[in-house]
């Protein structure tokens, strides 16, 4: 009798281990123009008695990076999921309804910067990225803000940097103009006369720094 029970338990254990190992879920996150942090993902799997929550505080990164994450093996491919995340510090969540498809991009809506998306795969990713925190410009000054009729914006910083890009976005995430600063300049004056009055989002960045600022243009 004992041998039969042990044999049955071993069989069930082998089945569970085999099933769990059959599906490894990997996630790929594109941050677009935003700083993104995935807080947790709740997986809904029909064959499980309760949803499974995956806490992923280390998955995310600054703007313009692609981050990958290897999740724990699941008993089966999830039917649908709910993602809890923050874009530029603002919390939000998204339900991906059934069927949750592998190798399919899903947009993560956000109020501020846009173009963030995520996809999941049932294959093991090779290597995990560890995005570094962006380095901000020292002693950065942006003036005047609000910007009045002249539409001349002064930007200065303490140390010389090369290949700095200054992107201006509307609050809906549409880029309206860009400037490239070379030669290690420490100050620049931009003519924004082509922009209508309103609120804009300024993103200052190069390969190793990133800074975002809201800018108000008034008459």
Residue whose entry in the numeric block shows the structure tokens 């069989």: 11
Q: Do 16 and 107 reside in the same domain of the chain?
A: yes
User: Domain residues for 98?
Assistant: 2-121
Residue 69 to residue 128: CA distance in whole angstroms: 6
Q: pLDDT category, 152, cuts 50, 70, 90?
A: very high
pLDDT at 169: 83
pLDDT at 191: 92
Mean pLDDT (the chain, rounded): 76
Q: Do 113 and 211 reside in the same domain of the chain?
A: no
Residues 6+ apart with CB under 8 A from 25: 43, 71, 72, 73, 74, 77, 78, 120, 121, 122
Q: pLDDT category, 13, cuts 50, 70, 90?
A: very low
Q: How many domains does the chain have?
A: 2
**Of the candidates 121, 150, 185, which is a domain's last residue?**
121
Residue 121 to residue 56: CA distance in whole angstroms: 16
pLDDT greater than 70 at residue 150: yes
pLDDT at 139: 77
pLDDT at 201: 80
The answer to whether 87 and 35 have CB atoms below 8 angstroms apart is yes
pLDDT at 3: 37
pLDDT greater than 60 at residue 62: yes
User: Do the domain assignments include residue 193?
Assistant: yes
Q: pLDDT category, 136, cuts 50, 70, 90?
A: low
**Of the candidates 86, 121, 156, which is a domain's last residue?**
121
């Amino acid at each position: 009798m004992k041998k039969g029970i042990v044999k049955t338990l071993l069989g069930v254990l082998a089945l569970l281990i085999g099933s769990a190992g059959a599906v490894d879920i990997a996630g790929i996150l594109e941050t677009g123009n935003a700083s993104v942090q995935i807080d947790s993902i709740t997986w809904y799997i029909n064959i499980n008695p309760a949803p499974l929550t995956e806490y992923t505080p280390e998955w995310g990164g600054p703007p313009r990076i692609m981050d990958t994450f290897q999740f724990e093996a699941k008993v089966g491919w999830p039917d649908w999921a709910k993602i809890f995340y923050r874009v530029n510090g603002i919390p939000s969540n998204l339900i991906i309804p059934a069927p949750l498809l592998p190798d399919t991009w899903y947009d993560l809506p956000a109020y501020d910067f846009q173009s963030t998306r995520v996809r999941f795969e049932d294959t093991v990713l090779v290597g995990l990225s560890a995005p570094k925190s962006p380095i901000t410009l020292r002693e950065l000054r942006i003036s005047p803000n609000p910007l009045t009729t002249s539409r001349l914006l002064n930007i200065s910083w303490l140390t010389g940097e090369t290949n700095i890009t200054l992107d201006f976005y509307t609050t809906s995430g549409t880029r309206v103009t860009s400037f490239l600063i070379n030669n290690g300049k420490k100050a620049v004056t931009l003519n924004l006369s082509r922009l209508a009055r309103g609120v804009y989002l300024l993103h200052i960045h190069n390969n190793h720094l990133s800074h975002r600022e809201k800018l108000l243009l008034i008459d």
